Amino acid sequence: MVLKLSELEKFYAEYNYINRDFNLLDEIDKILTVLLHEKTKTYNYFRVGTLLLFYEQWRKSSKVDFYSEIARINDMRCAYDVSNLMCRKTTDLFGTIKEFKPKEFKVGKYSLKFYTKPDYYFIMYQIHREIISKNYKYFSK
């Protein structure tokens, strides 16, 4: 399955992830704006990656395929470029392993807790889990 970002956004609208009180894209944006500046490439990579994690197929895929899809949606050359930028941004946010101190980010009803230095995949996965745990009634299978 290959999707462009607009198709990905349309998917959530069609499958009732946009509800009266709940909009998945807005919820992801609320959390990400606390971590990253909104008008950066890295912000888009984290946003697309978090959106892709709502597809079971992408949660089960290899990380190479996952980052390749993020690169393709963002018109990047390869997965390495995407993962390299995300890695650098994660180091900017949390420091190196030696510098890391446990951090907690609170955004409204969401709370992201990091007790060990996370990698960029874990950050996206944590956002994904937090959104589902706080809004489980919108995610019926």
Question: What predicted TM-score, i.e. pTM, was given to this entire model?
Answer: 0.84
Q: What is the pLDDT of residues 100-112, one digit of tens each?
A: 999 999 998 999 9
Q: What is the pLDDT of residues 29-69, one digit of tens each?
A: 999 999 888 888 899 999 989 988 888 888 888 988 999 98
Cα separation, 51 vs 103, whole angstroms: 24
Q: What angle do CA 44, 50, 52 make, to 5 degrees?
A: 100
pLDDT over 90 percentage in the chain: 40
Domain locations in the chain as residue ranges: 5-138
Give the pLDDT confidence score for residue 3 in this predicted structure.
59
What is the mean predicted confidence (pLDDT) over 83-108?
Answer: 92
- How much is the mean pLDDT over the chain? 84
